[in-house]
Amino acid sequence: MMTEAAGRRVHVIQGEFKVINDPNIVLSTILGSCVAACMRDPVIGIGGMNHFLLPGSATSNSSGDATRYGVHLMELLINGLLKQGARRDRLEAKIFGGAKTIARFSNVGEQNAAFARQFLLDEGIRIVGESTGGEHGRKLEYWPSSGRARQYALTGMEAQRAMQMDQRPAPVPKPVESSIEFF
Amino acid sequence: MSIAEKIKVLIVDDQVTSRLLLGDALQQLGFKQITAAGDGEQGMKIMAQNPHHLVISDFNMPKMDGLGLLQAVRSNPTTKKAAFIILTAQGDRALVQKAAALGANNVLAKPFTIEKMKAAIEAVFGALK
């Protein structure tokens, strides 16, 4: 695994997305009840990953601001891919995460995964791989150029870290500059 | 009949999910006459046949983007008076200035809340209720 060891690692944190067109880069993230969508255009080998937790998703409905936030991160990832030359009709996706890591967040992971699945279905983006749910967090690695993904179940210290990440305050959809520009 | 009910709105966005969310938000604000298109070209075709009072369009779209649609709407005598709100996924100063120069009535950054959308529309049409 020399090539992988030599490759650069780019970490994606909650609320972020990254698009990569360098075959030497591996995208990585740590997921608890959050979900990461990995998307790529297999023809040109450009891909990316986002990482989201729908804020307050336990009470959200289809029209809620939480859903809009998830849609936003999906859109940023898709736009980022298209900007690099990917074609929408060729996009394929893998989704990971949505674990039931903390009892009191029982539904959140499941809802995050369901949201991602529904979004991709509605947008006509093929899901070529999925590992969601379960009771353990995941450490995820994704090579956008090959589409290969590798995950490790988190136990012990790492699991605690993942849970801490989940317990961070949900990101408030951050408006860039002011949300509304009047002129 | 409220003001919202009288306004014909055209939603233009390439993402099905965004169109559904936008439509849903508009319905919650009292709009009844809502049409949707998946890109600028389709949006302009609809506008030319059936001019709508308000266009809410995404910026980043295939074929014809939001600014292209704005230009097309402004240069067609039957549609040029329509109110135009452009949506951006990433706040971009340059885009906002371009949109203003081309005659957009407002810009709304995603992700937005229903309240922000209401404010953006009311800034153009006045109070909806």
Q: What is the CATH number of domain B1-123?
A: 3.40.50.2300
- Interface size between A and B, measured as CB pairs under 8 A: 80
Measured between CA atoms, how close is B108 to chain A, in angstroms? 5
Return the CATH fold of A4-167. Answer: 60s Ribosomal Protein L30; Chain: A; (3.30.1330)
Nearest to B15 among A123, A182, A183 (CB): A123
Q: Report residue A115 CA to chain centroid gap.
A: 11
Residue A38 designated active-site: no
pLDDT, chain A, mean: 82
pLDDT tens digits for range B73-90: 999 999 999 999 999 887
Measured between CA atoms, how close is A179 to chain B, in angstroms? 5
Nearest to A72 among B28, B89, B114 (CB): B89
pLDDT tens digits for range B91-106: 678 888 999 999 999 9
* Long-range own/partner contacts, residues B38-43 (CB < 8 A, 24 or more apart): B38/B12, B38/B13, B38/B14, B39/B12, B39/B14, B39/B63, B39/B64, B40/B12, B40/B64, B40/B65, B40/B66, B40/B68, B40/B69, B40/B72, B42/B12, B43/B10, B43/B12, B43/B69
Going from N- to C-terminal start, the domains of chain B cover 1-123
Q: A14 by DSSP, 3-state: which? A: coil
Query: CB under 8 Å to B116, separation ≥6 — which residues?
Result: A179, A180, B108
| pTM for the whole structure | 0.79
